[in-house]
Amino acid sequence: MITVKYNIDFKKALKQLEKEKLSDTLNEGVADKFAKNSFKFIQSGKVEPELSDRNPRKIKNKSAKPLFDTGKLARSLKGNSKGISGVSYAKDHLKEDGYKFKGLPVPQRKFITADLPTEKSANNKIYKEFEKKFVKLLSKSIRKR
């Protein structure tokens, strides 16, 4: 007969996997990085659709970038345990049907890079980094002390 002893406490690991705790841990691990990537994405002018030639900002400045007129929206993006937050009108740009500004239609503009397939390589890098940290956290939490 073989006797096996283990030095593992699964109760601690299960606490890490509770839905709210897991969500907070995930957000703390990735939200700020996605907010910084989203800032760079907006700043680079890659946000689609581009400004139309009839847009007053485009008429005034031919190289105007969507969502980066003053940079206020891009600079407001911050990550925390609740996710990504920003100025109040940031959500308007994410609405599926767009929104109206001073009676003019504004199309939807996705700018959070976690949601963009074109930013897949940057997203994967963030997720892999988080995965390593999370595995270490779980390993540390299941060891008895």
**pLDDT value of position 133:** 85
3-state secondary structure the chain: CCCCCCCECHHHHHHHCCHHHHHHHHHHHHHHHHHHHHHHHHHHCCCCCCCCCCCHHHHHCCCCCCCCCCCHHHHHCEEECCEEECCCCHHHHHCCCCEEECCEEECCCCCCHHHCHHHHHHHHHHHHHHHHHHHHHHHHHHECC
**pLDDT value of position 6:** 64
**pLDDT value of position 115:** 84
34 vs 16: CA distance, rounded Å: 22
**pLDDT value of position 69:** 86
User: Under 8 Å CB-to-CB from 2, ≥6 apart: which residues?
Assistant: none
**pLDDT value of position 144:** 58
**pLDDT value of position 22:** 76
Q: What is the pLDDT of residues 26-35, one digit of tens each?
A: 888 899 999 9
**pLDDT value of position 40:** 95
Distance of CA 136 to the CA centre of its chain: 22
Per run of 10 residues, the mean pLDDT along the chain (length 145 residues) is 69 72 83 95 94 86 89 95 93 93 90 92 92 83 66
